[in-house]
Amino acid sequence: MFFSLVILNYVALILLVILLATTIFRRMTKGTTNHAFMFILFTALAAVIFDIWALHLDNLSAPNNIAQYTMHLGYLLCHNLTTPAYVVYIISLADIWHKVRNSKVQMTALFLPYVLMIAAMIVNVFTGAIFSVSNGVYRREFLFPVLYVIASYYMILGLIYLYKYYRLFKGGNVAAITAVVPMTLVAVVIQYFIPDASVEMFVNSLSLLFISMTTQRPEELIDPFTRLRNFNTYADDTKRIFANGKKVRIIMLNIGNFSSLQTMMGFDTMKGVLRAVAQEVEKADKNNKIHSELYHLDGGRFRMIISYRHRYRAITCAEELNRALEENIVINELSLKLSHHICVVDCPEDIHDFKTLTTFGSTFHEKAEATGAVLYASELFQNKQFEMVSNIDSIIDNALKKNNLKVYYQPIYSVEQGRFTSAEALIRLQDEDYGFVPPDLFIPAAEKSGAIHRIGGFVLDEVCRFIASDNFREIGLDYIEINLSVAQCMHGDLADKVLDTMKKYNVSPDQINLEITETAVSYGQNIMKNNLDKLSNAGISFSLDDYGTGYSNMRRVIQLPLKIVKLDKSFVDEQNNPKMWIMIQNTVKMLKDMNMEIVVEGIEDEEMVDQFSALECDFIQGYYFSRPVPEDEFVEFIRKAHIKV
């Protein structure tokens, strides 16, 4: 019966060969962890082959002592290497090689026992104290248990690493790797009492199969399109890097026009593009020998994590990749130009937490100036504008908390009446650290974060308070225009909020006018329509702001309760272009025929005032009259202007 258990060695051999083949087939061959896993596979494979061979020689009728001795020696050396190899695998999984390598104690604890065992095996040739072969009979001698002591030592060392750094492993991994220990112990006990049973290597290969199924799982780790690691792996790896204070350099590559290309070209073409870019990334990695971990997160965002040792070569790699991507990519006879952005980030010097890493990673190319050169996070962070954009959410929070927001007013001139009849309320944010923050910058951010509702509420309150003041009554303006952003229009209680605030200050509906943009109009959602209808029924009028910059969907425009249309500055700026002038003339005529009033925005000189007055535009707004100014300055300005009139 014991002899028949030798068959387990063959089962182990087949299992290990299949494991090795699938590891290669599943492309789990790159990176330190995969190398360590393959190392265990190879040692186990060598041990099984030595074992099969040794048992075969043991049973020959004409014994060959030297060959028999060599095979048993080979088996014991390889078999006993699998336990330190497990420890190496665990260290790689936790990604703490940089710590182990720098600690003499840990390096000694890791390698010395195995080196001593090799020395003992050499001495055994002369002493025969561990095992012996004589007259074709293999025998375990009195020092043989030392081998078990060493194997147990490595098991314990592995467990120590596993539990000391357990937060650096994924949940299931610790359980899976720990489960190997009791399995091995049972096998060792069986084999100790029944040396011919060949159980150890069988259990060893089962353990490897178990780890391969639970821990070495490419399905969870690999992006199917590029075969590079995916976002989950990037998240795990970078979190681990931050947790154990490892120094790395990361090359970030974002394809800026990825989603617009995908809309135009379709998914299949973009899969080809991703593969082509992945190849360039792999080529740059190989050419520069930086042995980086490569990732494709999604939507054309690639990452390379490079160890500190290769940090200088990482720069050459980033430059090379940048140049390579200048070339068009040819897919199915289509030649595509990618707008790629590369940034080199040092961790933890530039960024030391995962959240910042991901937000920086997905937005750096939008915030930085497009120069086409490789960007460096360290330089970007020194740039005030970039820093401001990166911190915009906290700037807004701070402004709301500390009352750093002010409402400014820009007068609007009525051509017909020859005086200022209204004004536009424009928000201003003055930050303690960054100074003046332009609304074009913080309004879109506030829309995303939801802070726009509080900002909008503040503006509304301020404007109504001003309208109710004696000053406003005295200067005799008809109404104030208030900007509404898309997010505000989409909010269910916008109408109630506006009406409540007006009631609070006793402001009548003809004293305010709400500006909406074509972008808001193009959303055409029910909530917005309800809001506009409700406000319009209450007697409030609307202006269409920035006319001529968005999608001019005339059908939608005429369905809205609009009183005023504001021609955008960009429209007006091109008035010297004869075709544009024809368009302006006809647009004005069309809008007038529809009984709409027209405001021309962005008028900076007298010539433009004359030109647009001649066109019979109703109102003119621009720096020519006044920039947006604080309330008291504005009151003063209108007072003086009316005295002149």
Contact 61, 135 (CB under 8 A): no
Q: In the bound complex, what is the minimum distance in angstroms from residue 224's beta carbon to Mg ion?
A: 46
Q: In the bound complex, what is the minimum distance in angstroms from residue 599's beta carbon to Mg ion?
A: 9
Distances in whole angstroms, Cα of residue 225 to Cα of each of 28, 267, 275, 327, 562: 15, 11, 7, 21, 49
Peptide bond into 439 cis (omega under 30): no
* 470, interface contact from ligand C2E, Mg ion, none, CB < 5-8 Å by kind: none
CA angle 538, 453, 385 (to 5 degrees): 135
Q: Which is nearer to ligand C2E, 275 or 569 (CB)?
A: 569
Contact 584, 615 (CB under 8 A): yes
Q: In whole angstroms, what is the distance from residue 331 CA to residue 503 CA?
A: 62
Q: Which is nearer to Mg ion, 95 or 546 (CB)?
A: 546
Q: In the bound complex, what is the minimum distance in angstroms from residue 480's beta carbon to ligand C2E?
A: 11
Burial environment of residue 509 by CB neighbours within 10 A (0 to 12, 13 to 18, 19 or more): middle
Q: Which is nearest to 488 in space by CA: 434, 539, 542?
A: 542
Complete DSSP assignment for 252-297: EEEETTHHHHHHHH-HHHHHHHHHHHHHHHHHHHHHTT---EEEE-
Q: In whole angstroms, what is the distance from residue 583 CA to residue 459 CA?
A: 35
Secondary-structure percent of the chain, ordered helix, strand, coil, rounded to 5: 60, 15, 25
Query: Helix, strand, or coil here: 85?
Result: helix
Secondary structure element (H or E) that encloses residue 598, with its range: strand 597-600
Q: Which is nearer to ligand C2E, 483 or 575 (CB)?
A: 483
Contact 197, 191 (CB under 8 A): yes
Which pairs count as long-range contacts for 462-470, CB under 8 Å and 24+ apart, including other chains? 462/407, 462/425, 463/407, 463/425, 463/512, 464/501, 464/502, 464/504, 464/505, 464/507, 464/512, 465/505, 466/407, 466/409, 466/631, 467/505, 467/507, 467/511, 467/512, 468/505, 468/506, 468/507
Which stretches of the chain bind ligand C2E, using CB under 6 A? 410, 426-427, 438-440, 443, 459, 483-485, 515, 545-546, 569, 601-604, 621-623, 628
Q: In the bound complex, what is the minimum distance in angstroms from residue 495's beta carbon to ligand C2E?
A: 16
* 211, interface contact from ligand C2E, Mg ion, none, CB < 5-8 Å by kind: none
Q: In the bound complex, what is the minimum distance in angstroms from residue 424's beta carbon to Mg ion?
A: 6
Q: Which is nearer to Mg ion, 47 or 567 (CB)?
A: 567
Q: In the bound complex, what is the minimum distance in angstroms from residue 516's beta carbon to ligand C2E?
A: 9
* 628, interface contact from ligand C2E, Mg ion, none, CB < 5-8 Å by kind: ligand C2E
Q: In the bound complex, what is the minimum distance in angstroms from residue 594's beta carbon to ligand C2E?
A: 21
HSE-up (13 A, CA, CB side) for residue 381: 13
Q: Which is nearer to ligand C2E, 333 or 440 (CB)?
A: 440
Q: Which is nearer to Mg ion, 483 or 511 (CB)?
A: 483
Distances in whole angstroms, Cα of residue 586 to Cα of each of 99, 579, 610: 74, 11, 18
* 2, interface contact from Mg ion, ligand C2E, none, CB < 5-8 Å by kind: none
Please name the amino acid found at residue 588.
Answer: V
* 427, interface contact from ligand C2E, Mg ion, none, CB < 5-8 Å by kind: ligand C2E
Q: Which is nearest to 538 in space by CA: 500, 509, 497?
A: 509
* 95, interface contact from ligand C2E, Mg ion, none, CB < 5-8 Å by kind: none
Task: Give Cβ neighbours of residue 75 (< 8 Å, ≥ 6 apart).
Answer: 47, 50, 51, 54
* 314, interface contact from ligand C2E, Mg ion, none, CB < 5-8 Å by kind: none
Q: Which is nearer to Mg ion, 285 or 546 (CB)?
A: 546
Pairing, β 248-255 against β 301-307: antiparallel
Q: In the bound complex, what is the minimum distance in angstroms from residue 589's beta carbon to Mg ion?
A: 21
Secondary structure element (H or E) that encloses residue 20, with its range: helix 7-25
* 439, interface contact from ligand C2E, Mg ion, none, CB < 5-8 Å by kind: ligand C2E
Q: Which is nearer to ligand C2E, 316 or 570 (CB)?
A: 570
The tokens describing 61, both together, are 């009728």
Which stretches of the chain bind Mg ion, using CB under 5 A? 483, 515, 545-546
Q: Which is nearer to ligand C2E, 216 or 587 (CB)?
A: 587
Q: Which is nearer to ligand C2E, 192 or 625 (CB)?
A: 625
* 440, interface contact from ligand C2E, Mg ion, none, CB < 5-8 Å by kind: ligand C2E
Total H helices, total E strands in the chain:
29, 19
Q: Which is nearer to ligand C2E, 569 or 592 (CB)?
A: 569
Strands (E), 72-142: 131-134, 137-140
Q: In the bound complex, what is the minimum distance in angstroms from residue 340's beta carbon to Mg ion?
A: 34
* 51, interface contact from Mg ion, ligand C2E, none, CB < 5-8 Å by kind: none
* 350, interface contact from ligand C2E, Mg ion, none, CB < 5-8 Å by kind: none
> What pairs with residue 480 in β-bridges?
423, 512
* 426, interface contact from ligand C2E, Mg ion, none, CB < 5-8 Å by kind: ligand C2E
Q: Which is nearest to 286 in space by CA: 256, 313, 257?
A: 313
Q: In the bound complex, what is the minimum distance in angstroms from residue 578's beta carbon to Mg ion?
A: 25
Q: Which is nearer to Mg ion, 200 or 545 (CB)?
A: 545
Q: Which is nearer to ligand C2E, 19 or 512 (CB)?
A: 512
Q: In the bound complex, what is the minimum distance in angstroms from residue 630's beta carbon to ligand C2E?
A: 13
> What pairs with residue 513 in β-bridges?
481, 541
* 333, interface contact from Mg ion, ligand C2E, none, CB < 5-8 Å by kind: none
Q: In the bound complex, what is the minimum distance in angstroms from residue 390's beta carbon to Mg ion?
A: 27
Q: In the bound complex, what is the minimum distance in angstroms from residue 437's beta carbon to Mg ion?
A: 18
For residue 523, count other CB atoms closer than 10 A to its CB: 13
Q: In the bound complex, what is the minimum distance in angstroms from residue 601's beta carbon to Mg ion?
A: 5
* 438, interface contact from ligand C2E, Mg ion, none, CB < 5-8 Å by kind: ligand C2E
Q: Which is nearer to Mg ion, 95 or 568 (CB)?
A: 568
